[in-house]
Structure 1
Amino acid sequence: MLKAIIFDMDGTLFRTETILERALDEAFERLRREGQWQGATPIDTYRNIMGMPLPVVWETLLPHHETAVREATDAYFLTRLVENINNGNGALYSGVIALFERLNNMGYTLFVASNGLIPYLEAIVSHYGLNRWVTETYSIEQIDTLDKGDLVAQIVAKYDIQDGFVVGDRLSDILAAKANGLIAIGCRFDFSQDDELKQADHIIDGLAEIPDILATRHVSR
């Protein structure tokens, strides 16, 4: 039977803050030039909602703007994120590559399920060569409901996963695990919130702790 681990991307594998502020400020500078925004870039507000689907993000950051403005800003923000990744301005969390190699040797099949959009995820996977270990990367764009539980369910159904883990830093990851009968590993990283993490089955402060958790949990073969 497949031994699977499904990873979130932002704030779990990829240190989003390394490109986030730059790309967000570029997007809001564009809004300022167009007379659509005054004042500072709302970076703190965005940090509080990291991990939410982007339509929700822009409804929160631009609550009084028309849908067309939000969509245009979203598209520009995405291009800036991808360009920053391709220019080498981003970074993975410490130990990602070593962890993936070890999990591969342990016989685990790895997936990514993210609220990020497809071009953004493809840029990260390509730039860092993660497809050497990741079987398939899933974006919330692939699910009409924009519900991460439904996204994980798609992976579970396609690969007949009956036991496994979801690793992520936000409540959506934890709930997605529980909705699909999987074990939730919460990451106490940059964007995590303690009140959300307490609902996880395990909490880690670094990715290197994952193999120890796997050693104590017997995933059916």
Structure 2
Amino acid sequence: MNKQILVVDDHDDIRTLLGRYLSQHDYTVVEANGGDEMRAAIAKQKFDLVILDIMMPGDDGLTLCKELQEKKSTPFIFLTAMSEDADTVVGLELGADDYLTKPFSPRVLLARVKAVLRRVEKSADVEMPKQQSSMIKFAGWQLDIHQHQLTRDDGLLVALSAAEFRLLKAFLAHERQVLSRDQLMDLTKGAEANPFDRSIDNQISRLRKKVELDPKSPTLIKTVWGGGYMFTEKVES
């Protein structure tokens, strides 16, 4: 089955170009001109990847990104202008899987799309303990692997970005094991990870803010100096 990709951009020529090019490479593409059309498309079907322009009239890409991540842990790629460096950083902090600076080659975008989708598939193949139960419990939390939902025992539902979900899943699959940054990048990003990428540290910081009682003094995800990180709690299914 072809992967479903949503392209969100207010420029007709860019949407048409990307839609035509990706379709020629066996992807099913839906085009959306801004936030309202994006919401309508997402309400109708599930997408494997969203390509999202940062600078748009009305709801910009950062606003739509936050909204998207609160509802679904769908991976996404930002399209950004060179003058939008600060927005690009914010987008990466929100959990963007990749970004491209305009103008760009459609061939480069295709390579990035394939890389992100491979990372997601690699993460889905991470072996979970306890016979891969769909519901994983740890330290007062429950993670639904199928629904990509993190719920606290008191019923609080916490939104996870696609990157945060893959990171937490990797930790739960390797409880009480020290994982280096390179191992975590391999588990969450695959062979396409940039060897100089330190986004793992930022993702762990964001994840701690969501699952730790005191993110400044973490007890679930501990830093192992000189080694990496370790998830300290027992995992149950």
Superposition TM-score, scaled by structure 2 size: 0.35
Higher relative contact order (CA 8 A, sep 6+): 1
